[in-house]
Chains A and B, each alone.
Chain A
Amino acid sequence: MSERNNILNEIDWKLVALYLLLISMGWINIYAAVYNEDHSSIIDLSQSYGRQMIWIVTSLFLGLVVLLTDARFFSTFAYLIYGIIILLLLAVLAFGTEISGSKSWFQIGDFAIQPSEFGKFATTLALAKFFSGQHINVKTFRTRFIPLVIIGLPALLILLQNDTGSALVYSGFILVLYRMGLSGNFLLAGVMFIIMALSTLMVGYIYVAIALVILASLLLLIIKRNRRNIVNLAALLMLGIGFVFSVNYAVDNFLGAHQKTRINVLLGKELDLRGAGYNVNQSKIAIGSGGFAGKGFLKGTQTKYNFVPEQSTDFIFCTVGEEWGFLGSMVVVVLFILLLIRVIIVAERQRSDFSRIYGYGVASVLFFHFAINIGMTIGLVPVIGIPLPFFSYGGSSLWSFTILLFIFIKQDVRRNALL
């Protein structure tokens, strides 16, 4: 009884409200995306919105279960949960079913479960558990190495399932590492690497290398020219040029043809409206045709008549853009940013390291999904097939995001009790 009162009083209703808002809007848009007049009942299991309704109800139930579970359960069994998920990821490699090129599904009757979705909260738990330990010393090799293993292992296994998009999600944990003391230079370097990689692809590695040399020479004029600075600058320059050359080499030798085309399409170097560019082009058409106020609920032609592929999963944002226009898109983007900021604020008020680090993990995962998914539908990011949290059709991802968020909410409820 006291426990329940405690939950109701202490729960962060803002997070819950944002969550409920997002899943409701998600469901409405899935309904619109696949709507047809023959199946207008909202609970029709032959239609994805009917099944999504079941996923939503079960997710709410799961959320409740998480809230009623002792908060210490998750920190205590963090490694165990992580271990189980790793085993599942291994198992799916051996026994899984291949769906659209990725061997990442367990087929159970009509429903398919994707273990990699659950890797996200398991990894977040393990990471939080590791960093909240007493033995943390940022300076040791061990502290630097083990988080990379925790993040890298599931990422590698998912990569082996041929699901590059989901594997990339794990790079989002760099935000957690940053909060835990990773030098800001790494973030900066990350941004620099992305810029260098993109410019290499766009203008050619020779020009980027020349530009780097010129930049270094200019820096040399500004900084104090002592021995240490010159050596560092030289090392950075070598690193940069080496990176540029390896990007060029990697693209030419390691990337599959379809990945190369996707990148070229994004960079505008190739206009392939039939093949790789088709998705993005149709997606931009759908969103762009929405105008300021949108075409109205169920009035979207591009999504409803299947011009946009995957319109209820990875490209669900197209329906938002087409039917609700700039206003609707803005509401969704703002809601996500508000959710992310709220998660960070709530994380920062935690007294336990575990909860706080876990919160950053939640924010990292959600942010990465949000940025990549919407970025891809508006042509700012290459097509990487990952869902938009709480919006995209799919049980595994909705369950996974719900558990991810509700563990955090539960930790928050207990923040005072944990002293």
Chain B
Amino acid sequence: MANKSLASRKQTVITIFVVVGFIYLLRLFYLQVIDDSYTLSANNNVLRYVTQYPARGLIYDRNGKLLVYNEAVYDLMVLPRQVKDIDTLEFCRILDITPEGFRQRLRKAKDYSRYKPSLFEKQLSKETYGYLEEKMYRFPGFFVQPRTLRKYPTPLGAHLLGYVGEVNQAMIDKNPYYKSGDYVGISGIEKTYEEELRGIKGIKIKMVDVHNREVGSFQDGLHDTIAEMGKDLYLSIDATLQEYGERLMQGKMGSIVAIEPSTGEILAFLSSPSYNPNLLVGRVRGKNFGLLLQDPVKPLLNRALMGQYPPGSTFKMVNDLVGLQEGVLTTSTHYSCQGPGSTPIRCTHNHQSPLDVYTAIQQSCNPFHWQVYRSILSNPRYKGTRENYEIWRDHVMDMGFGHKLGSDTDAELAGNIPSAESFDAIYGKGRWTSMTVRSLSIGQGEILTTPLQLANYGALLANRGYYIVPHVVKQIGEKAVDEKKFKKVISDISPSHYEIIVEGMRQVATLGTARWYQIKDITMCGKTGTAENPHGKDHSLFMAFAPADNPVIAIAVVVENAGFGSTWALPIASLMIEKYINGEVSRTQIEEDMINKRLY
């Protein structure tokens, strides 16, 4: 029967149903159980990770005066995947950008990631933010992220503090903590103390619907982490002294570094010309940075660390110390000086002759120090000039020259104490003598030092033979800085020799080159330097500490292309010392002259 055979077709039909059902179940099993990429996609759809940016730590001076704080701004972020069907023109109008600018920013964001938020426009003004917030629902894919910017109540210590900027790709690649658009300390202590200052970012996981509207927090915030504010820094800087130094240095190129000898704490640290640190904050940073970069007086250059100057006469005591230690110089050693007629180095001062080491320092006698240097390099205790030179160089390096000191300031330069090899290369091995390198006897020639090294040298002399690595941060959050972090470096020259040098320096201020700038009730020990500069007028240098007994401040002042050390660097240093120790300055005429004089 035909019908009978056709009835068997129900098996075929049922088989079709079952097979299709089975295929679908396999497919569902694959989608739901095996392939877990869909869970991720679902999370990408609905979860929005909102970074909670911690405020950076605040920065105070040694007396608790606020130097740096934060101000709230709003960054406009974009999630490119969700941007669709928005009124571009209106959006551009609100933000005051061009449609082309809109496309560019969006392209840049897409290049970074379609699924992760990136910065669209940074630091909206409060007005723009307020206006945009109301219309936000019309711009899916965009949201606003509160951020903080640095603010400086008094524009001080720009070079010391440094500035904060956006991370670049290299930093992101190197350190996974940073994401595009994060802020990071780029220079100064903002950079060296970045990890302490930045705090810890938090994450809030929010759920959004297809229109990018927030619909609540994910699992009631179970996975959220709270941002932890950065730690506050307490600097060793004395804001009053710093400000005073900046006033004294206005219109002059150069640097002042002042250190508390007993602790190595930096009291003032400035480079001039400076700039208002508020200029390098926020949206105006790019523009201002360009302007500062093009300025011929190089306001961005941190001269305290990166200015390398020949120390000139301030270096003479280094040679005296080595001479005393190596036994080629004693307090009874006398050399004669023919004044301007001396060879091979003439003298620039009029004074008695012959003279001993005290007078030689007091009068900054060149021929005396040439003789000392010559005897160091021809010391019969060792074999020849080269070995003597290396002994000398070791002593000098021990005093903190020719290498980075390891301070917590940013981007120190090493300066230069030339190696024997470098002279071999120039003159040939065995073919150079003390005569060849005679400029080194008076701190000229290849020797280069930074103002920080000079100030540290002042501290070394003040301490009669040791220094503590200079540093600028006293306290991080509640915790004082670990003293072991900044080690005590003891010179291999006997303290008794230092006493001789200190006595010479005391005479500098009472009888010698610095006698015109004595400070009432304070004995200052110092040494002027006039560093020959192949590019122009001599640099004016002064290195000092005070008081002579139990010194509280060591200071180095460099004024570029200003001539004699005693004309500019000395008075500025003496004013700084007076200001720091006495709290006020009695010599108002000198103060006024210094502040008002413009040298560039």
Contact = CB atoms under 8 A, between A and B. Distances in A.
A284 B45 contact: no
A285 B37 CA distance: 8
Contacts of A286: 42
Contacts of B2: 181
Interface stretch (A54-62, A85-93, A254-262, A337-345): A337-345
Contacts of A333: 21, 24-25, 28
A290 B32 contact: yes
A175 B18 contact: no
A378 B42 contact: no
B149 to A, nearest CB: 34
A291 B39 contact: yes
Interface in B25-75: 25, 27-29, 31-33, 35-39, 41-43, 45-46
A305 B209 contact: yes
A351 B436 CA distance: 127
Contact of B6 (A180, A363, A367): A180
Contact of A337 (B9, B17, B208): B17
Nearest to B17: A340
Interface centre among B21, B35, B45 (most CB of A within 10 A): B21
Nearest to A191: B16
B39 A288 contact: yes
A285 B41 contact: yes
Nearest to A367: B17
A181 B6 contact: yes
A121 to B, nearest CB: 19
A4 interface: no
B24 A288 contact: no
A307 interface: yes
A301 B46 contact: yes
A187 B13 CA distance: 11
Interface residues of B, number: 39
B38 A288 contact: yes
B597 interface: no
Interface in A262-293: 274, 282, 284-292
B550 to A, nearest CB: 71
Interface in B481-534: none
A147 B208 CA distance: 52
Interface string B263-288: 00000000000000000000000000
Nearest to B28: A329
B33 A291 contact: yes
A178 B28 contact: no
A274 B37 CA distance: 19
B84 A336 contact: no
Contacts of A291: 32-33, 36, 39
Contact of A344 (B13, B36, B209): B13
A273 to B, nearest CB: 9
B28 A348 contact: no
A215 B209 CA distance: 52
Interface in B125-165: none
Contacts of B45: 282, 285, 301-302, 305, 307
Contacts of A345: 10
Point out which of A178, A285, A326, A340 has the most chain B C-beta atoms below 10 A from its C-beta. Answer: A285
Nearest to B18: A337
B7 interface: yes
Contacts of B23: 380
Interface string A301-316: 1101111000000000
Nearest to B215: A305
B14 interface: yes
A318 to B, nearest CB: 11
A306 B12 CA distance: 40
B42 A301 contact: yes
Contacts of B13: 175, 178-179, 344, 360, 363
B448 to A, nearest CB: 62
A360 to B, nearest CB: 8
Contacts of B215: 305
Interface in A177-195: 178-181, 184, 187
B170 interface: no
Q: Which of A175, A184, A302, A345 has the most CB of B within 10 A?
A: A302
Contact of B207 (A175, A301, A321): A301
Contacts of A219: none
A178 B9 contact: yes
Contacts of A329: 25, 28, 32
Contact of A288 (B18, B37, B210, B211): B37
Contacts of B28: 287, 321, 326, 329-330, 333, 378
Interface in B75-105: 84
B435 interface: no
Given A333-B24, A380-B24, A285 B38 contact: yes
Nearest to A375: B24
A286 B20 CA distance: 22
A194 to B, nearest CB: 13
Interface of B: 2, 6-7, 9-10, 12-14, 16-18, 20-21, 23-25, 27-29, 31-33, 35-39, 41-43, 45-46, 84, 207-211, 215
Nearest 3 CB-CB pairings of A with B = A288-B38, A289-B42, A305-B209
11 contacts: A184-B9, A285-B41, A289-B43, A292-B32, A292-B33, A305-B45, A305-B210, A333-B28, A341-B17, A344-B13, A378-B31
